[in-house]
Chains A and B, each alone.
Chain A
Amino acid sequence: MHISHNPWVWVAAILTLAIFSFLYKDNPFFKMAEHIFVGVATGYGFVYTWNNGIYPNLLKPIFVDHQWLFIIPLILGLMYLSVVVPKFAYFIRWPFAFLLGVGSGLSVPLAFRASLVEQIKYTILPNPHGMSAILFINALLILIGVVTVVLYFYFSTPHEGVMKPLTKTGIVFLMVGFGASFGYTIMARFSLLVGRFEFLLGNWLGILPWLK
């Protein structure tokens, strides 16, 4: 057993244990870790935004490279701050309108292509000629799954009569998908937990011989 002499490893280990202590109940150690986390993350976020966003993408182009067109995003950005002066608070509508307009304009064709056309393309049943029975059954299952799930999300008709068995089938497909996704993600989370324990037992306490 070789306990780490690195003070930063100790800080990380103590904060990890403080966060884990929430599993028992809320306590001062968790509160301390939570507030340090929030404070450090916000401070880090500010410095990161300054170094990777504001300075290289806004201030440098204007004040160093003299690209005066960048004054437009600067003005739009400053309009965000108008909320602190109630008299001029309505200025904030301009950057919001710009952001939503550009965002929608860019995403509409992409969303239609990726979320609609590509999905339809792989749902259409292929020609079974020269295809193995398993592959065709798989394609048939995809078609049934997509049709019944889309019908579940059809809001204009109540789930009664002929719609009832169809939407029930859709729910079964959804739940099977969610179950698979749940299991897959839980395994990924366990690997994160294993990583933390490896840190505590190996890097900090030195119990694990391969991680000192």
Chain B
Amino acid sequence: MVLNLLVFILAASGVIQVKDIPNDDGSRLKIEYRLPESVFDSAFLYRIQGNKKILIHKVANSSGVVIDEGLNYKKTYKYTLVVYSDTLKKTYESLMVKPKASWFDTSQFPLFIVVLLYTGLLLFYIQHARSGKSLYLRPIAGLQAVDEAVGRATEMGRPILYVPGLSSISDVATIAALNILSHVTKKAGEYETKILVPVRDPVVYTIAREIVKESYYSIGRPDLYNENDVFFATDSQFGYAAHVSGTMVREKTATNFFMGMFWAESLILSETGASTGAIQIAGTDAVTQLPFFIVTCDYTLMGEELYAASAYLSKEPLLTATLKGQDAMKVIILLVVGALSILNLFGVHITLGLF
């Protein structure tokens, strides 16, 4: 068979330019191509890796940019662009290029400065608190009701239900919920009121159990601790919801706490609790679940109020100082937003390397 293709090989003609992408782990290269011919039948971009020729992109336009991923920074690569046009086959080749791996992502430097600023503010307020100076925090209605809710369960002679959310221990909301659990357990222990803590996550279960135990010890009532009161229900989301709903009805809990991270089960839990007539206090940073808690619970801690709760309840200077540091950061953010907005109105666009 007679091959009726005319073949050209144009090495290093500048048609393909391969560049390293900075600030990465050396796994990517950027290939820019600009074909001299504007009309062609088909074109294919290949990566030459040793003896292998791997197709990475089917070229549709005469110029463009392709990011080749999954590379090894220890190896060298070459790219070829094969263009078919009528009876003509042209091959353009790039130079050999080795991707570079970076130790640091320098594009994140402005963000690093922001983190340092925030850390500095936190340390300043922690030092301030340690020096014995009092730090003011405004009262939050939901938190003031915690003691009242525990008292109500005591008066009715019924148990308290405490749900520490459905997320894992790495979730900030879960950590905040466990801090509040400590306070609620101490209060319940003072009144000798039973507290039930059904848990979904095995790690959270272990920590919740220790917290309840420690809380009873700290008020001098270790006899009140019953290991069956803190229990692992199931890790299935709706299995857990069904179980907790059943517990609320059967145990006739007088007070329900829903603190931590929740998903679609939030309404099932809080609606069942509302139907039993229990006083309910919820707290979550799950924005999509907050509306359900607001309509079904007596008090709801919204977003950051949940994080603030542990500082309020424990009166711990370290936690209060952290909250003050966050407040200071909020002021800085609002000032930055205000200043950059005003400058934008006058056509001055400043990014600070961040925006």
Which residues of A come within 8 Å of B, CB atoms? 19, 22, 25-26, 30-31, 33-34, 37-38, 40-42, 44-45, 80, 83, 92, 96, 99-100, 103, 107-109, 112-113, 116-117, 120-121, 123-129, 143, 146-147, 150-151, 153-159, 174, 177-179, 181-182, 185, 189
Contacts and interface: CB of A to CB of B under 8 A. Distances in A.
B62 to A, nearest CB: 32
Nearest to A104: B170
Contacts of B295: 182
A181 B286 CA distance: 12
A141 B236 CA distance: 41
Contact of A37 (B169, B242, B294, B342): B242
A22 B268 CA distance: 11
Chain B contact-residue range equals 35 or more
Given A112-B118, A128-B345, 19 more contacts: A30-B246, A38-B234, A45-B234, A100-B170, A103-B170, A109-B108, A109-B111, A117-B354, A124-B337, A124-B344, A125-B342, A127-B347, A147-B334, A155-B323, A155-B327, A156-B136, A182-B291, A185-B291, A189-B264
B176 to A, nearest CB: 14
A168 B32 CA distance: 54
Interface stretch (B45-53, B79-87, B298-306): B298-306
14 contacts: A38-B234, A38-B239, A40-B239, A41-B235, A42-B239, A45-B236, A96-B203, A103-B170, A108-B115, A117-B355, A125-B345, A143-B337, A154-B331, A155-B140
Contact of B291 (A80, A128, A179, A189): A179
A60 to B, nearest CB: 22
Contacts of A22: 245
B347 A129 contact: yes
A41 B305 contact: no
A26 B333 contact: no
A33 B303 CA distance: 34
B242 A19 contact: yes
A33 B243 CA distance: 10
B235 A124 contact: no
A100 B234 contact: no
B288 interface: yes
A155 B228 CA distance: 38
A34 B288 contact: no
Contacts of A112: 111, 114-115, 118
A151 B140 CA distance: 14
Which 3 A-B pairs give the minimum distances between C-beta atoms?
A41-B236, A125-B341, A103-B170
B65 interface: no
Contacts of A96: 169, 203, 207
A89 to B, nearest CB: 9
Nearest to B139: A158
